[in-house]
Amino acid sequence: MVPFGPLAFMPGKLVHTNEVTVLLGDNWFSKCSAKQAVELVEHRKKHVRKALDDLQKVMMNFESRAEFTEDLQRMSDAASDFVDIREEIEDDSIGTKGKYRTAHKPHSKPKVSNVFEVDFPVNGNDTKSVGHFQSEEELWARLEELERQETLLGELDRMPGTVETNGEDASSSEEEKEDKRTDLNGTYRAEDSLTQGNFHKQVTNSDLFGGQLNGSTYYHSDDEDDIDVGDNSVPTIFFSHTVEPKRVRINTGKNTTLKFSEKKEEAKRKRKNSSGNGHATPELPNIKTPADIYRVFVDVVNGEYVPRKSILKSRSRENSVCSDTSENSAAEFDDRRGVQRSISYDEATQSDNSEGVLEEEEEEEGQQQPPKKLPPSSGTAEAFSGTVIEKEPLSPSLIPHPVIAHPVLPTILEWKSDEVLSEASEEPPKRISKFKAARMQQPT
């Protein structure tokens, strides 16, 4: 008796009990054995499981997004303000700090710098303002320049510094401007911690605003403090790719000004030390006397600090378009040259690249920074270890800038760039004084 519906049975036989008609989907059926039917069912189950897993993944994605948002909210609730992680290129939206223009006393350099740094509308001043070191005269000149500029500050707030920079560049001969720029660079860096390209802009702005000399690095710390205060204690994390090199123009003699990239190195070191913590306040060297300069700007040789040789005593002047350098011992020359070259390169690039190549330059300098440590570490006796390679393309174009009276200088400079290109290993053979070579060429 076989079931005939739910309520009845019928006498009969069940045949082909192994045959089942399976729905394949979409109105398709197939008669198959039970085993095949099982296979089909398994296959379908697999398919469904896969769909389920995919949906699970989607759900997890959404959940993580929601969680992230919740965390963000929690963080912002916990802190009084948001935690800004900024890596801005343009500083349009940077909120101005409270103290826009604290009165600055022209003759109190440290304070001035503080004021100006605060002025800058920077989100969370990155307290990386590298100590701008400038000679006293430069500081004063800078102060005056800045004061002049302060009057322009009103409209110029946040103006893209290009205009200023251009103006600055036009009068590039002025050390002050350079100083300012460098100062601003440092300042801006602290303020903006923007990428290098942006930094350029910042620099100009800082020129406008930050005329204040930030020679004393310790002021920077003050500034930083101020900035922090002015920042409304908004925890801000600033990203900055490279350290804006501070350029200090120093009159090294005839018609040439070397730009110290000391600050840059300093800043770079500081950056490196404080890498990652945007808010870290790099310890700024307290420079109050010229002697402090030498104390601060030291080369790291073999892990120790070796005071850097004065550029006035170095052969760098030969390299830097300064005219007569008397007898140069090869070693000495190279030694100085190496150091100077790095410096002059930095400076040269700095000055020339003020316009638009800053980004490049900054990159280069940024790149240079790490490699720059190599020359000092390699010993003062070694020539430049090719760290300037990045600058290399720029240097030839830049070098002519300061060079005026030396027909041979381009050659030297080129050679310098060549040297730069060459790896350290090549340097020993090139120890022959460049200047000698130039002199030899001169007669010819």
163 binding other proteins? (CB under 8 A): no
- Residue 52 CB, shortest distance to other proteins, in Å, is 13
Q: Which two tokens stand for residue 74?
A: 């929690």
* Whole-number Å distance between alpha carbons of 266 and 335: 20
State phi, psi for 20 to the nearest 5 degrees: -125, 150
Provide the H-helix boundaries in 79-92. Answer: none
**What contacts 384, CB < 8 A, 6 or more positions away?**
334, 337, 338, 339, 341, 342, 375, 419, 420, 427
17 binding other proteins? (CB under 8 A): no
Residue 39 vs 81, nearer CB to other proteins: 39
Residue 33 vs 233, nearer CB to other proteins: 33
280 binding other proteins? (CB under 8 A): no
Site for other proteins in 47-66 (CB under 8 A): 47
Nearest of 299, 300, 339 to residue 319 by alpha carbon: 339
- Residue 420 CB, shortest distance to other proteins, in Å, is 56
Q: Are 343 and 261 in contact (CB under 8 A)?
A: yes
28 binding other proteins? (CB under 8 A): yes
Binding residue for other proteins, selected from 39, 70, 137, 324, defined by CB under 8 A: 39
Q: How many CA atoms lie within 13 A of 91 on its CB side?
A: 35
30 binding other proteins? (CB under 8 A): yes
Binding residue for other proteins, selected from 4, 29, 62, 68, defined by CB under 8 A: 29
Stretch that binds other proteins, among 36-44, 138-146, 205-213, 287-295 (CB under 8 A): 36-44
Provide the H-helix boundaries in 253-357. Answer: 262-273, 290-296, 316-319, 330-352
Residue 49 vs 65, nearer CB to other proteins: 49
Residue 44 vs 101, nearer CB to other proteins: 44
| Count, residues in the chain | 444
State phi, psi for 30 to the nearest 5 degrees: -150, 135
Residue 21 vs 425, nearer CB to other proteins: 21
* Site map (CB under 8 A) of other proteins, residues 101-140, x = contact: ----------------------------------------
What is the binding site for other proteins (CB under 8 A)? Answer: 19, 21, 24-33, 36, 39-40, 43-44, 47
